[in-house]
């Protein structure tokens, strides 16, 4: 599995244009050639796309919800060699959620804070705790 570095959730680096291959998560090698998780992987990548686009549009609640949907979809990937890939997917999704959480934290604290993002920050915090509890 290969993680695409262009998929960083950051307002300073956010862009709708995705460089390189089209999927945020791609396989480099798999003994099944990715055939056992085609549908789940497509759903996860689609959720990551939507989440990133929502993040760029400052629709943080939608972005968080898409990451949650992607995280839940990783639990549909079963099997002995596939379970480790599913765990890598969950780690990638958790990292994205942590990046959104960090961005919201910066926006909701300090002298120039935006209180309108506080509910999204709290939802992101809850999701991160839930992801870590389920890991």
Domain range for residue 113?
Answer: 2-134
pLDDT of residue 16: 52
pTM for the model stands at 0.81
User: pLDDT digit of tens for each residue in the chain (135 aa)?
Assistant: 444 444 455 544 555 555 455 677 666 667 777 778 888 889 999 999 999 999 999 999 999 999 999 999 999 888 777 888 888 889 999 999 999 999 999 999 888 888 899 999 999 999 999 998 986
The DSSP annotation for the chain comes to -EE-TT----TTT--SPPPSSS-SEE-S--TTTTGGGHHHHHHHHHHHHHHHHHHHTT-HHHHHHHHHHHHHHHTT--SHHHHHHHHHHHHHHHHHHHHHHHHHHHHHSSTT--GGGHHHHHHHHHHHHHHHHH-
Considering its fold, how many domains does the chain have in total?
1
């Amino acid at each position: 599995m290969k993680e695409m570095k262009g998929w960083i959730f950051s307002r300073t680096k956010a862009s709708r244009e995705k460089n390189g291959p089209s999927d945020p998560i791609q396989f480099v090698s798999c003994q099944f050639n990715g055939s056992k998780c085609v549908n789940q992987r497509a759903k996860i990548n689609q959720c990551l796309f939507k989440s990133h686009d929502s993040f760029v549009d400052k629709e943080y609640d939608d972005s968080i919800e898409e990451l949650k949907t992607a995280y839940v979809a990783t639990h549909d990937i079963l099997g002995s060699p596939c379970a480790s890939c599913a765990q890598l997917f969950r780690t990638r999704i958790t990292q994205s959620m942590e990046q959104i959480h960090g961005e919201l934290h910066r926006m909701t604290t300090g002298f120039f804070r935006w209180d309108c993002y506080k509910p999204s920050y709290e939802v992101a915090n809850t999701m991160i705790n839930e992801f870590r509890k389920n890991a």
